[in-house]
A and B are shown apart, each in its own frame.
Chain A
Amino acid sequence: MLAAHLLVGALLFALGLVGFVTRRNLIIIFLCTEMMFQGIILNLVAFGRYPLEGPPTFDGQVFSLFLIAVAAAEAALGLALVVLLYRHRGTLDAGAWTTLRDE
Chain B
Amino acid sequence: MTAATSILPAGLYATLPLWPLFGALLVGLWIALRVKPERAHWPVVLGVLVSAALAVTLFFDLQRQYAAAPETHAGGFVYSVYNWISLGQPASLEHNQWLAVNFYFDGLTGVMLLFVTVVSLMVVLYAVGYMRDHHGHPERGYERFFAFLGVFVFSMITLVLAGNFVLLYLGWELVGLCSYLLIGFYYGKPAAAAAAKKAFIVNRIGDFGFALGIFSLYWFLRPYVQPGENPLDYAVVFKYAQHLATAQIGGMSQATLVSLLLFCGAIGKSAQFPLHVWLPDAMEGPTPVSALIHAATMVTAGVYMVARCTPIFGLSPLALDVVLAVGMVGAVLTATMAMAQYDLKRILAYSTISQLAFMFVGLGCGVPDSAVFHVFTHAWFKALLFLGAGSVMHAMGGIIDARKFSGLRHVLPQTYAVMWVGCLALAGFPLLAGFWSKDEIVHAAFERHAAVGIIMLATAGLTAYYTFRMFFLCFHGPLRLPAEAGEHPHESTTMIRPLWVLAGGAVLAGYLGVSFGGPASESFLAIFRPHGLIHDFLHHSTIGHPEHGHGGLWLLYLSAGVALAGIALAWLRYGAAPVADPDARALGGLWRLWHAKYFVDEVYDALFVRPLRALGRLFFNTDNYGVDGVIWLVTAVPRGLGFALHYLQRGALQAYALSMVIGLVAILVLWSWWT
Asked whether, in the complex, the Cβ of A95 is within 8 Å of the Cβ of B652, the reply is: yes
What are 28 contact pairs spanning A and B, CB under 8 A? A17-B661, A20-B654, A20-B657, A21-B654, A21-B657, A21-B658, A21-B661, A22-B654, A29-B653, A29-B654, A94-B652, A94-B653, A94-B654, A95-B652, A97-B651, A98-B651, A98-B652, A99-B651, A100-B649, A100-B651, A101-B649, A101-B650, A101-B651, A101-B652, A102-B646, A102-B647, A102-B649, A102-B651
C-alpha spacing A14/B646, complex, angstroms:
30
Q: How far is the CA of A21 from the CA of B656 in the complex (A)?
A: 9
Closest to B662 in A: A21
Q: A95-B652, A98-B652 are in contact. List 5 more A-B contacts (CB 8 A).
A: A20-B657, A21-B657, A97-B651, A97-B653, A100-B649
Q: Which residue of B lies closest to A99 (CB)?
A: B651
B646 (CB) vs chain A CBs: closest residue: A102
Q: Which residues of B contact A98 (CB under 8 A)?
A: 650-652
Distance in angstroms from B131 CB to nearest chain A CB is 58
Q: Mark B617-656, 1 if CB is under 8 A from A, else 0.
A: 0000000000000000000000000000011011111100
CA distance A101 to B661 in the complex (A): 20
Listed from nearest, the 7 A-B pairs whose CB atoms lie closest are A101-B651, A98-B651, A102-B649, A100-B651, A102-B646, A101-B650, A21-B658
Residues of chain A within 8 A of B661, CB atoms compared: 17, 21
Residue numbers in A under 8 Å from B646 (CB-CB): 102
Q: Mark A36-56, 1 if CB is under 8 A from B, else 0.
A: 000000000000000000000
| Interface of B toward A, CB cutoff 8 Å | 646-647, 649-654, 657-658, 661
* Residues in chain B near residue A29, CB distance under 8 A: 653-654
* B-contact bits for A6-42, CB 8 A (1 contact / 0 none): 0000000000010011100000010000000000000
Interface size class of A (residues with CB under 8 A): 10 to 19
Min CB distance A47 to B, Å, is 19
Residue in B closest to A22 when the chains form the complex, CB atoms? B654
Chain A residues near B647: list those with CB within 8 A: 102
Q: Chain B nearest CB: distance from A92 CB in Å? A: 13
- In this complex, what residue of B is CB-closest to A100? B651
Which residues of B have CB within 8 Å of A22?
A: 654
Q: Which A residues touch B650, using CB under 8 A?
A: 98, 101
Q: How far is the CB of A24 from chain B (nearest CB, A)?
A: 8
Report the minimum CB–CB distance from B70 to chain A (whole Å).
95
A48 to B476, CA, bound (A): 122
Chain A 76-98 interface mask (CB, 8 Å, partner B; 1/0): 00000000000000000011011
Shortest CB distance A101–B (Å): 3
- Residue numbers in A under 8 Å from B657 (CB-CB): 20-21
Chain A residues within 8 Å of B652, by CB: 94-95, 98, 101
CA distance A64 to B143 in the complex (A): 86
Name A17's closest neighbour in chain B (CB-CB): B661
Q: Which residue of A lies closest to B650 (CB)?
A: A101
The chain A residue sitting closest to B652, CB to CB, is: A98
Q: Give the docked Cα–Cα distance between A95 and B651 (Å).
A: 9
Q: Which residues of A contact B651 (CB under 8 A)?
A: 97-102
In whole Å, how far is B472's beta carbon from the nearest beta carbon of chain A? 76
The docked-state distance in angstroms from the alpha carbon of A38 to that of B649 is 31
- Once bound together, how far apart are the Cα atoms of A100 and B646, in whole Å? 12
| Residues of A close to B658: CB separation below 8 A | 21
A20 contacts across to B, CB distance below 8 A: 654, 657
How far, in angstroms, from A98 to B649 measured CA to CA in the complex? 10
Closest chain A residue to B657 by CB distance?
A: A21
**What are the residues of chain A within 8 A of B649 when measuring CB–CB?**
100-102
In the bound complex, CA of A21 to CA of B654 (Å): 5
Contacts of A99 in B (CB 8 A): 651
| Chain B contacts for A101, CB-based, 8 A | 649-652
Cα(A29)–Cα(B658), bound, Å: 13
Residues of chain A lying within 8 A (CB to CB) of residue B653: 29, 94, 97
CA distance A98 to B647 in the complex (A): 13
State the Cβ distance, B448 to closest chain A Cβ, in Å: 85
Q: Determine the residue in chain A with the shortest Cβ distance to B651.
A: A101
CB of A29, distance to nearest CB on chain B (Å)? 8
Q: How far is the CB of A13 from chain B (nearest CB, A)?
A: 11
In whole angstroms, what is the CA distance A95 to B656 when docked? 12
Closest CB of chain B to A88's CB: distance in Å?
15
In the bound complex, CA of A71 to CA of B210 (Å): 90
Least Cβ–Cβ distance between B662 and chain A, in angstroms:
10
Residues of A54-73 contacting chain B, CB below 8 A: none
User: Complex formed: what's the CA distance from A29 to B647 in Å?
Assistant: 25
Residue of B nearest to A24 (CB): B654
- Complex CA–CA separation, A90 to B652 (angstroms): 18
Nearest CB of A to B8, in Å: 82
Query: Residue on B with the closest CB to A98?
Result: B651
B residues near A100, Cβ cutoff 8 Å? 649, 651
Query: Chain A residues with Cβ under 8 A from B654's Cβ?
Result: 20-22, 29, 94
Q: CA A100 – CA B657 in complex, angstroms?
A: 15
Which residues does chain B contribute within 8 Å of A102, judged by CB atoms? 646-647, 649, 651
Give chain A nearest CB distance to B545 CB in angstroms.
90
Query: Measured between alpha carbons, how far is A20 from B653 in the docked complex, in Å?
Result: 10
CA distance A29 to B656 in the complex (A): 14
Report the separation of the CA atoms of residues A98 and B656 in the bound assembly, to the nearest whole angstrom: 11
Min distance, Cβ A69 to any Cβ of chain B, angstroms? 25
Expressed in whole angstroms, the Cα–Cα distance for A20 and B658 within the complex equals 9
Q: Which of B646, B647, B651, B661 has the most CB of A within 10 A?
A: B651
What's the least CB distance linking A86 to chain B, in Å? 15
What is the bound-complex CA distance between A29 and B652, given in angstroms?
13
Residues of chain B within 8 A (CB-CB) of A95 are 652
A65 to B438, CA, bound (A): 117
What CA separation (Å) do A22 and B651 show in the bound complex?
A: 16
State the CA gap A68–B650 with chains docked (Å): 33
Q: How far is the CB of A81 from chain B (nearest CB, A)?
A: 12
